[in-house]
Amino acid sequence: MNKKVIIGCFIATGLLQLPSVNAQVKVPFSTANKKVRVIVSDNEPGMRFKTTETLKFQDSPQPGETEVSVFVDPAKSFQTMLGIGGALTDASAETFYKLPKDKQKELLAAYYDKDKGIGYTLARTNIQSCDFSSDSYSYIKEGDGALKTFNISHDRAYRIPFIKEAMAAAGGKLTLFASPWSPPAFMKDNNSLLHGGKLLAKYYQSWANFYGKFIRAYENEGIPIWGLSVQNEPMASQSWESCKYTAEEQRDFVKNFLGPTLAKQGLSSKKLIVWDHNRDLLYQQASTILEDPAAAKYVWGIGFHWYETWTGAGQQFESLRRTHEAFPAKNLIFTEGCIEKFDFNKINDWSLGERYGLAMINDFNAGTVAWTDWNILLDENGGPNHVGNFCFAPVHADLRNGSLIYTSSYYYLGHFSKYIQPGARRVAAVASRDKLLTTAYLNPNGKLSVIVMNQTDEKIEYSLWIKGKAAKTTSQPHSIATLVVE
């Protein structure tokens, strides 16, 4: 039997699969004819997104034990990047419109322009008031369980136009999700928007309907809502807008009310995020909700914050890793983080950004698909905030003189958002010494972005090593670098 007949027999039996005419063959990543552009930010004057050198790869078949290396393997890929961004709150919007027009334009470019700025693609906003609003408010009148008085006119003053300007600056599209801080006061057992309290069972359906009303209202304004979380910080009884749910209560609300209601209203495509609170209880919450298939089918992902440090503990990255291992089909999304206890005297501290870099590298390496900072803009007092809960933002407006102050957090965030595109795949990356932190992504355009962070007081010589090829460089003290292989 000749070769053509043998191959024909294998094809006919399905033992040999030939690629279709339109099939795309994945080409392995190669360092051949590629260089490494090194972009650095550190605490030295002028060192912000500074291209410091262009490296060439050299043969390096086996690094020595005394050498420091960052090993990257583009053939081993993990989660896909959804986006990086920040929250468009009442406080940010109100502050924005107090700035001179030229500074408004500067801020939008700084965040959303892919070339001049850091290319944010993700955003969050609040449903009704939150602590970063100038006052407490609701979209309905007291006692209106039927939602007949639903009206978002409050948001049309500042927040809706601000979101539209951000969308335009981002090229016409932002992946936007929304979160409630509290149901209307009459729907809760403490009859208050503030101080926790619980949603009364008789209003479960009314509150589920409320989410749909919000989505429709915003989309009628020309603002698409990509997703929503069930409740901001459901384990906290705060002095500001808050509402408490146990994991079982949130599971049952999603399963019996919110999930089915969104489906009935034609909104099942909206991505539903549970938890939306700190990493420390993440696994317990995720397992309680997701081990119920009737609830899990409505859930796109698990949101988390970084404020578990209020207990005096560190950031609990192991909670993320265990949750991702146990529930790999669900997405991890960082939904909020900021540095608390605003102090204008610390606004130039480099350590502000280092906290972001530490969190982002560890969160991404644990499987996180998206990362959302808190307010993108606050004033020189860390507000406005109607309960005095003043915090840092990456950019502050000093309204005393109409200027913008860029903190180190802005630059650390930008080393990720500017060089890692939505659709990028995280690839294997590990440093041979714990003094360097690293993560890496292969972008849809074929460029490889490797983040290297140094929190120490030391200069550290190291090599970027990819499959027997190495490019040598030096990590400066207290620096973050993006190495773009192109």
Domain at 35-79+427-485: CATH code: 2.60.40.1180
CA 317 to chain centre: 15
SS3 label, residue 242: coil
* Residue at token pair 């069972």: 201
- Please state, in angstroms and rounded to a whole number, the distance separating the CA atoms of residues 324 and 331: 8
Please report the sign of the dihedral spanned by the C-alpha atoms of residue 72, residue 74, residue 80, residue 81: positive
> Can you give the residue ranges of every domain in the chain?
35-79+427-485, 83-422
319 burial level (CB within 10 Å; 0-12, 13-18, 19+)? buried
- Please state, in angstroms and rounded to a whole number, the distance separating the CA atoms of residues 455 and 356: 12
- Please state, in angstroms and rounded to a whole number, the distance separating the CA atoms of residues 394 and 376: 6
pTM (predicted TM-score): 0.94
Q: Does 336 participate in catalysis according to the annotation? A: yes
Please report the sign of the dihedral spanned by the C-alpha atoms of residue 6, residue 8, residue 12, residue 16: positive
Q: Does 233 participate in catalysis according to the annotation? A: yes
Q: Give the containing element (helix H, strand E) for 340.
A: none
Same fold, 35-79+427-485 and 83-422: no
DSSP state of 188: B
For the stretch 213-237, what's the b/e string if a residue is b when 16 or more beta carbons lie within 10 angstroms of its beta carbon? bbbebbeeeebebbbbbbbbbbbbe
By DSSP bridging, strand 368-375 and strand 83-87 are parallel
By DSSP bridging, strand 331-336 and strand 368-375 are parallel
> CB atoms < 10 A from the CB of 391, how many?
18
Q: Which amino acid is at 141?
A: K
- Please state, in angstroms and rounded to a whole number, the distance separating the CA atoms of residues 93 and 95: 5
Catalytic site residue from 233, 241, 308, 354: 233
Right CATH for 83-422 from 3.40.50.620, 3.30.70.1350, 3.20.20.80, 2.40.30.30 = 3.20.20.80
- Residue closest to 68 by CA, chosen among 454, 484, 485: 454
Show pLDDT as tens, one digit a residue, over the chain (486 residues): 444 444 444 333 344 443 333 444 467 899 999 999 999 999 999 999 999 999 999 999 999 999 999 999 999 999 999 999 999 999 999 999 999 999 999 999 999 999 999 999 999 999 999 999 999 999 999 999 999 999 999 999 999 999 999 999 999 999 999 999 999 999 999 999 999 999 999 999 999 999 999 999 999 999 999 999 999 999 999 999 999 999 999 999 999 999 999 999 999 999 999 999 999 999 999 999 999 999 999 999 999 999 999 999 999 999 999 999 999 999 999 999 999 999 999 999 999 999 999 999 999 999 999 999 999 999 999 999 999 999 999 999 999 999 999 999 999 999 999 999 999 999 999 999 999 999 999 999 999 999 999 999 999 999 999 999 999 999 999 999 999 999
Q: Which amino acid is at 321?
A: R
- Please state, in angstroms and rounded to a whole number, the distance separating the CA atoms of residues 486 and 477: 26
Backbone torsions φ then ψ of 413, nearest 5 degrees: -60, -40
Catalytic site residue from 94, 165, 308, 336: 336
